[in-house]
């Protein structure tokens, strides 16, 4: 028992799930090549919205206040890729039955380890929508390489090119809701004026409207009850969204256990199970290193190289590296252990680099 002046260590009832995120910026016009600051602003929004730590929670009407959920999920950015593409509006384009933005050879960028990482593609669209995301529980789920969320650049984050009324990052909050198998509050159609459909969540009242482009005032009645229009799974303007519900939290966690169990072993560090064991087709030279190191890569392929420090922070990334000897200047790295992840098509190799000065 702690004595006077001592404090008991705080016990967390359940670990927060930290979901590692890869953002693929696939840009056609230079304004679509959004800044790192705009990406960081989106991660900040997610870390507030999924912990019920966003300012708008205070304005949730009393009758819904009991149902506000801390989703107990947080997000860490582990990598950003940037790809210039010939294709305008690539985010919604399909070619040969495939979603172009998800494939290097169709002008987009391949998903990175979609079982362990949430892949977010930020790219222009042709459908006028801010974003979309497939639900893992739908009848014919998207192939793993296309399982992520898709956001228009001007609906992403809170700074840079983010434009009102979708400039508070709520499109991505909403689409990650879909990625976690949450439906719109009104159901599966565009609207549900006859109140026939439901989102299969008990604590979100039946709702007829999608509230697109609106910021309603409470009470806004449909289907005989006040609507939870401030729920993230509506089309309400960003500024007028506030919450996920406890029922949605239960459905989202069930989806993780059912469809995305690998996330439970994910962390912001490089993912062990995704790593091929030592593979002598790739060799790390000059390790331990002080000022430089080098990778000997097979001649036949093109590689992506990312280096993470011991906390899982991305400190170096280079795409489209040809085979041969690849030098890496390590003078800016502080002493310690680093993980070099080398992506070769669908395979990820990992090398441990020790920087010693």
Per DSSP, helices labelled H in the chain are: 36-49, 62-65, 170-179, 246-259
Which residue out of 32, 56, 146, 175 is catalytically annotated?
175
Report the alpha-carbon distance of residue 259 to residue 265 in Å, rounded. 14
175 is catalytic: yes
Is residue 254 within 8 A of residue 247, CB to CB? The reply is no
Report the alpha-carbon distance of residue 208 to residue 191 in Å, rounded. 6
Maximal CA-CA distance, the chain? 71
Report the alpha-carbon distance of residue 280 to residue 285 in Å, rounded. 12
DSSP 329-341: E-TTSPSEEEEEE
89 φ, ψ (degrees, to nearest 5):
60, 35
Report the alpha-carbon distance of residue 134 to residue 260 in Å, rounded. 13
Q: How far is CA 232 from CA 8, 197, 220, 283, 294, in A?
A: 37, 18, 16, 47, 47
Catalytic residues: 175
């Amino acid at each position: 028992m702690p004595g006077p002046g001592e404090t008991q260590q705080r016990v967390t009832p359940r670990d927060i799930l930290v979901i590692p995120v890869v953002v693929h910026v696939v840009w056609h016009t230079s304004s679509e090549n959004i800044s790192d600051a705009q990406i960081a602003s989106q991660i900040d929004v997610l870390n507030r919205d999924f912990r019920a730590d966003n300012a708008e929670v205070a304005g949730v009407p009393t009758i819904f206040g009991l149902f506000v959920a801390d989703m107990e999920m947080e997000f860490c950015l582990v990598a950003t890729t940037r790809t210039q593409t010939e294709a305008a509006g690539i985010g919604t384009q399909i070619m040969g039955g495939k979603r172009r933005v998800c494939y290097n050879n169709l002008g987009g960028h391949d998903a990175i380890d979609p079982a362990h990482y949430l892949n977010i593609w930020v790219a222009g669209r042709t459908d006028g929508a801010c974003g979309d995301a497939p639900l893992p529980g739908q009848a014919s789920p998207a192939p793993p390489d296309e399982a992520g969320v898709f956001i228009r650049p001007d609906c992403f984050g809170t700074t840079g090119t983010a434009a009102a009324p979708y400039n508070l990052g709520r499109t991505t909050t909403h689409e990650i809701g879909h990625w976690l198998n949450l439906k719109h509050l009104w159901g599966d159609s565009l609207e549900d004026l006859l109140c026939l459909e439901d989102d299969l969540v008990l604590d979100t009242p039946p709702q007829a409207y999608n509230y697109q482009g609106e910021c309603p005032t409470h009470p806004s009645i449909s289907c005989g009850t006040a609507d939870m229009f401030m729920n993230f799974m509506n089309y309400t303007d960003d500024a007028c969204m506030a919450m996920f519900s406890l029922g949605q939290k239960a459905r989202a966690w069930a989806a993780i256990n059912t469809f995305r169990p690998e996330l439970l072993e994910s962390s912001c560090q490089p993912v062990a199970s995704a790593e091929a064991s030592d593979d002598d087709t790739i060799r790390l030279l000059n390790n331990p290193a002080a000022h430089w190191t080098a990778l000997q890569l097979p001649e036949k392929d093109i590689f992506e190289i990312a280096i993470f420090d011991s906390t899982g922070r991305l400190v170096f990334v280079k795409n489209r590296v040809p085979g041969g000897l690849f030098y890496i200047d390590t003078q800016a790295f502080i002493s310690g252990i680093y993980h070099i992840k080398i992506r070769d098509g669908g395979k990820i190799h990992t090398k441990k680099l020790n920087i010693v000065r």
